[in-house]
Structure 1
Amino acid sequence: MKRRVVVMMTDTQRKDMVSCYGNPEMKTPNLDRLAAEGARFEKAYTCQPVCGPARAALFTGTWPHINNGWSNSMALDARTRTLGPRAQAEGLHTAYIGKWHLDGGDYFGDGICPEGWDPDYWYDMKRYLDELSAEERMASRREETNLIGDGVQEGDTFGHRVADRAVDFLEKHGENDFLLVVSFDEPHDPFLAPQRFIDMHKNTRLPWRKNMTDPLADKPEHQRVWAGSRMEQDREDLDLAYRNFFACNSFADYEIGRVLDAIDQHAPDALVVYTSDHGDMLESHRIINKGPVMYDEITNIPFIVRWPGVIPSGSVSENLISHIDVVPTVLDAIGASEVPKVLHGKSMVPMFGNLSESSSDEIFVEFGRYEIDHDGFGGFQPVRCVRNDRYKLVINLLCTDELYDMQEDPEEMVNLIENPEHVPERDSLHDKLIEWMNETRDPFRGYYWQRRPWRADAPSATWEFTGCTRQREPDTGESRQLDYDTGMPMSEAVRHKRPCF
C-alpha cells in the first residue's frame, strides 16, 4: 500500500470564503470539488489565529506556548521537530513548497531549507522574491498592481509558482511514498490576482452579520481599543465589497485546482488535507484583521479531507477538530512506527471511517502576541480559550473574560460570563482549561488563571500552585530528562515536587 499525503493550506481564508461552506458567491469550485469527494468539517479550529503560531502548531503537533512559536517572528525551539523529519524517518520523500513563517525571520523567511525537507523543492517567499527585480518585488507587495497596465500576470505570482513546483513534484515523484506540503500565501494581502478573477467579483459583497453592530459594552477592553474609531461609526452603511480579496481567494482556489488535477493523475489514492491558518474579522464585532480574540470569524477555519476508500464522499462532520491533531493524524495514516508523547494532539484517522463518532469533546485556542517585531497590534495579550459542542469560554488574563452559548448565539453577541444560569457549564470549562494549561506545560500558567472575579470557589493563591513538576516527555531517539532531586532519569514526567521553600 502506497503512503502518500498532500497537505495544502491557504492564508487568511475564512471558512465562509469557501463556497461549499454556504456562500456560493465566493466561487471556489476546486475546493468544492474536494469537499464533494471527501469530508467537510464545520467545527475545525486553529490553535492560534496568527500566521506563524498557527503554523507552529499545525506542523509540529505541539502548542505555540511550548514550542516557542507563540508570536510571529519567533523561531521554533531547537528541540521541536516539524512533520517533515518525522515523515522522512518513516521513509517518505518529504517536500515543503510555499510559505513557511517558522524560522523567526521576517514575513518572507530566510530562504534556507530546514531539516527534514527536500532542498530541491524548498521554495519559501524569500526564494520567490530572489527571482524578482527590485521593481518587481515592490509591485508584488502592492494591491495597486492589480490596476497597473495589464494587471497581474498569473505566472508572476507566488501562488502560481508554488503550484508549478507542486505539480512538478507530483509528476516526478507521485508514484512513490511521499509527504507534500503546498502552502499558499494567497488570499492574504496584497490580494493580487489576474483580471479575470477581479471581474468575477465585481458585484460580490460579504453578507451582513448582526455582530458588525456589536457595541462591545460587556466585552474585553482591548476589543474596544482595537475597534478604535469604528466604535462611533454608523454601521448600517459598511462597504463590504472586498473585491480584490475575494478575487485573490478565487485565484488561490484555481491554483489549488491545478495541484488537485496533478494529484488525481499521479497519486489518486493520496490522503489530501486542506485548511487555512486563520480568518479575518472583516468588520465583525467592529474589528478587522486577526489578533487577540477568539471569535469564530478568525478561529473556526475551513478543513476538508479526501481519502478515497476511507472517507465517504460528500460527508459533512460537526465534530470538533483542531490543527493540533494534524501531525499525529498524518503519522497514523502513513503507519508510523511511533507517535511520540511530546505531541499534544491525537489522530483523527479512527474518526475518518465513522464521522458520526467525535474524536474530541473540547478544543483549545490560545493567543500571546501578534508579532514581536511590532510595538502595536495590542502588544502582549495573553488569552486562553476552550470550546465544547455548545459553549465557548475565553479567559483574557488582563481584562474581562467571555462565555458564549454557540448554539443560541452563534454570532457571539451576548457575553454570559456573569450569568448565574450558566455557572455549571462555565466553571466546568474553566476547570478543563486550567487542566489543559497544566498538562501542556504552558509557561504562562499559574494561580491567576484560576482566580477570576466570577469564580466564587477559586482556591486561594499559593506560591507553589499545584506543587507539580512537569518535565518534557522524550521525543523519538531522546533520553529521558534527569530528575532534579536524584540526578537519575525520571520515572514519571509529572509528579509532585518535594518542598524547596
Structure 2
Amino acid sequence: MAEKKPKKIILILTETQRTDYLNCYGNSSMKTPNIDKLANEGMKFEKAYTTQPVCGPARSAIFTGQYPHSNGVYSNSMAPNELVKNIGQRLQKNNFKSAYIGKWHLDGGDYFGFGECPDGWDENYWYDMRCYLEELSIEDRKRSRKPETVYDEDFTEEFTYAHRVTDRAIDCLENYEEDDLFMVVSYDEPHSPSLCPPEYIEMYENMDLSFMKNKNYEEENPEHQKLWSENSKQKEDKVIVDGVSLEQRLGCNTFVDYEIGRVINAIEKYAPDAMIIYTADHGECIREHELRSKGAAMYDEITNIPLIIKYPEFISKNKIYSKPVSHINIAPTIMEAADLKIPEVIEGEGLLNVLKGDDTRKNEEIFMEFHRYEIDHDGFGSFQPIRSVFDGRYKLVINLLTSDELYDLENNPEETENLIDNNSIKVIRNNLHDKLLKWMNNTRDPYRGYYWERRPWRDDARAASWDYTGMTRQRKPDTGEKKPLDYDTGLEVTEYNRNKN
C-alpha cells in the first residue's frame, strides 16, 4: 500500500485588494504575474464577495465560517465570541499543524494586535504585526508607518512586513513537509503605508486610470454617502488612497504579488499537491461614487474580492466559476478538503463539489452586512447599519438609517442607477427583500426587527409590532458540546429556528 501523502491547505490573504488590481481579473494595466499564474492553474471565482467590507469583520467570517453578526466581530477592535471556534482550532484538533503567519486583526486589540498566539495556532510560527514591530527599533517602528520611507537610502524589501511574513511561510513549509498542514499567510500589503521598493512604484507612473469608473457623484446616492463624499474630497491632482499615492498603492500591489510568488514557489517544492486558496479581505473605492477607502457601502469596488483556488487533485487548468460565492464558503471548504465533518454552527457551505467540476449554483444569494468601521473612533461614519443581498444580477442594499439601493449589475455594472423605486421590477426587489429578512432570522441577526421590513418602498410591509415575527433561535451547539435547553420546557432544543408565539 502506498504511503498516504500529508494533506496541505494553504490560505493566502491580502489586505484591501480589489479584483481590478489584478491582471487575471481583466485589468491589463496591473502587473500581477504570480496571482495570474495561480488563476491559470486553478479556478477563478468572478463573483466572490466579502461578508463585511471592514478588515476585522471580514476576517472573522473567513476564519470562523460565521457571519460577523453571529461571531460577534461587528467592527474592528473586537474579538469573536468566546464560544466561537476558529478554523485553526478545528484542524489542530484533528492532528493538523496549524500555522498563522501575518496580520490577524481578531484579538480585540487595535490594528497591530497583541503579539500573542491564540488557541488553535502554532506558537512557533505566530507572527502578527505586533511581533514585527517589536523586532524594530523605536525609530524604525515610526519609519515602518510612513509611505515615504521607501525612498530612504537604507530601505530594502527585507525591511517590509510582507517579506518577513514570506520568509516564515517558506520555513514553515520546509519544516512541516511531512505533516498535515493548514497554513495561513496573511499580508498587510497593499494596505497603507504600502511600503515597497521604489522600482515597483515606478511601474505605475503616468498610468492609464480608465479602469476607475463612477467618478461623478450622483445626487440620488444615500444621505450617509453624501457626507462620506464630502469628507473624501481632495484638492490634489494626484490620486491619494489612504494617505499614499495611487502609484505607490499599485506598486505595493505588485510587490505583494512578488512575495506571494515566493510562497507559491516554496509550495511547489515542498507541497506540490496542496490546496491553495487566495483571496483579499475587501476592496476599496478610489474615486468611484466620489468615495475613498471602504466602509458603509456595498459597491463592487469595496465588496467584490478576488478568490482563486488551486487544487491539483481536482481542478484542471484555467477554470472560471461565474456564480456568486462568499467568504462564508471558505471555512467549510477547508474542512471538506481536510475530510472533516462541518459542524452546524458554520453558516456557509463548502465549495469542494464546485472544485470537482460541478457547475451548479452553490449559493442562490450571498449576503453582506455593515455595522461600523471601528469601535474606537468615529472617522468612518460611526454606526451605519446595513444589510445587503446579491443574487448574481440584482443587489439590494438596506441602509437602515438613510435610503436604500437596488442595482442591476447586468445592465449597470457601475452601480450608478438606483432602481429602488422602480416599480417595473417590484417583484424582484420584494423577493430579494424577503430573502434578506429570512436570512436575518435564520442567522440570529441581533439587529433584526420590523424596521428592516418597513421601508418606504415596501407598501405591503407588516405593521410595526413589538413581537415582530416572533422568531427565536438558541445557539446551535458546536462539535462535542451539549445541546441547549428550551427556556419553556427545560428539555433539549429540537428546533433551533422557531416561533415563540
- TM-score interval w.r.t. the shorter chain? over 0.9
* Paired residues, number: 493
Q: 1:94 to 1:239 in 2, by over 3 A?
A: closer
Q: 2:128 aligns with which of 99, 124, 128?
A: 124
Q: 1:424 aligns with which of 420, 424, 427?
A: 427
2:402 counterpart residue number? 399
Q: Report if aligned partners of 1:7, 1:180 keep a CA contact under 8 Å in 2.
A: yes
1:171 counterpart residue number? 174
State the secondary structure of the residue aligned to 1:301.
coil
Shift of 1:88: 1.0
1:356 counterpart residue number? 359
Q: 2:294 aligns with which of 276, 290, 294?
A: 290
Instruction: Name the CA distance, whole Å, in 1 between partners of 2:499 and 2:20.
Output: 47
2:196 counterpart residue number? 193
Shift of 1:156: 1.0
Identical aligned pairs, as a percentage? 52
Q: Report if aligned partners of 2:20, 2:26 keep a CA contact under 8 Å in 1.
A: yes
Instruction: Name the CA distance, whole Å, in 2 between partners of 1:205 and 1:155.
Output: 30
Query: What do the CA deviations read for 1:36-86 (whole angstroms, capped 9, x no partner)?
Result: 100111100000000000001110000101211010001111011110010
Instruction: Name the CA distance, whole Å, in 1 between partners of 2:85 and 2:303.
Output: 24
Task: Give the counterpart letter for 2:222 in structure 1.
Answer: P
**1:430-445 → structure 2 map (5 Å cutoff):** 430-445=433-448
Query: What do the CA deviations read for 1:80-117 (whole angstroms, capped 9, x no partner)?
Result: 11100101122211100000000010100001100010
Query: What TM-score, normalized to structure 1?
Result: 0.96
Asked if 1:17 corresponds to 2:46, the answer is no
1:312 counterpart residue number? 316
Shift of 1:239: 4.0
CA-atom RMSD, angstroms? 1.5
Q: 2:373 aligns with which of 355, 365, 370?
A: 370
Q: Report if aligned partners of 1:363, 1:386 keep a CA contact under 8 Å in 2.
A: yes
Q: 1:403 to 1:234 in 2, by over 3 A?
A: farther
Q: 1:417 to 1:197 in 2, by over 3 A?
A: same
Q: 1:184 aligns with which of 187, 191, 205?
A: 187
Instruction: Name the CA distance, whole Å, in 1 between partners of 2:404 and 2:230.
Output: 20
2:306 counterpart residue number? 302
Q: 1:96 to 1:239 in 2, by over 3 A?
A: closer
Q: 1:108 aligns with which of 103, 112, 132?
A: 112
Asked if 1:494 corresponds to 2:493, the answer is no
Query: What do the CA deviations read for 1:355-384 (whole angstroms, capped 9, x no partner)?
Result: 532211110110000000112210000000
Asked if 1:39 corresponds to 2:27, the answer is no
Asked if 1:387 corresponds to 2:390, the answer is yes
Query: What do the CA deviations read for 1:109-141 (whole angstroms, capped 9, x no partner)?
Result: 001100010001000000000000000000000
Shift of 1:475: 0.3
Q: 1:146 to 1:238 in 2, by over 3 A?
A: closer
Shift of 1:461: 1.2
Asked if 1:149 corresponds to 2:173, the answer is no
For structure 2, the 5+ residue unaligned runs are none
2:80 counterpart residue number? 76
**1:445-464 → structure 2 map (5 Å cutoff):** 445-464=448-467
State the secondary structure of the residue aligned to 1:6.
strand
Instruction: Name the CA distance, whole Å, in 2 between partners of 1:355 and 1:70.
Output: 34
Q: 1:230 to 1:441 in 2, by over 3 A?
A: closer
**1:85-100 → structure 2 map (5 Å cutoff):** 85-100=89-104
Q: Report if aligned partners of 2:370, 2:387 keep a CA contact under 8 Å in 1.
A: yes
Instruction: Name the CA distance, whole Å, in 1 between partners of 2:358 and 2:238.
Output: 39
Instruction: Name the CA distance, whole Å, in 2 between partners of 1:204 and 1:253.
Output: 19
Task: Give the counterpart letter for 2:152 in structure 1.
Answer: I
Shift of 1:210: 4.0
Q: Report if aligned partners of 2:212, 2:286 keep a CA contact under 8 Å in 1.
A: no
Asked if 1:279 corresponds to 2:277, the answer is no
Query: What do the CA deviations read for 1:295-351 (whole angstroms, capped 9, x no partner)?
Result: 000100000110003012111110211000111111011101x21100100011011
Instruction: Name the CA distance, whole Å, in 1 between partners of 2:472 and 2:32.
Output: 49
Shift of 1:208: 4.7
1:207 counterpart residue number? 210
2:263 counterpart residue number? 259
Query: What TM-score, normalized to structure 2?
Result: 0.96
1:219 counterpart residue number? 221
Instruction: Name the CA distance, whole Å, in 1 between partners of 2:444 and 2:208.
Output: 44
Instruction: Name the CA distance, whole Å, in 2 between partners of 1:209 and 1:466.
Output: 43
Instruction: Name the CA distance, whole Å, in 1 between partners of 2:323 and 2:13.
Output: 20
Task: Give the counterpart letter for 2:223 in structure 1.
Answer: E
Task: Give the counterpart letter for 2:116 in structure 1.
Answer: I
Query: What do the CA deviations read for 1:444-478 (whole angstroms, capped 9, x no partner)?
Result: 00011011000011111111111122101100111
Task: Give the counterpart letter for 1:99 in structure 2.
Answer: K
Q: Report if aligned partners of 2:444, 2:472 keep a CA contact under 8 Å in 1.
A: no
Shift of 1:214: 3.0
For structure 1, the 5+ residue unaligned runs are none
1:50 counterpart residue number? 54
Task: Give the counterpart letter for 1:388 in structure 2.
Answer: D
Instruction: Name the CA distance, whole Å, in 2 between partners of 1:467 and 1:88.
Output: 39
1:248 counterpart residue number? 252
Q: Report if aligned partners of 1:317, 1:355 keep a CA contact under 8 Å in 2.
A: no
Task: Give the counterpart letter for 1:7 in structure 2.
Answer: L
Query: What do the CA deviations read for 1:182-216 (whole angstroms, capped 9, x no partner)?
Result: 0000000001001221222223343254411132x
Shift of 1:487: 1.9
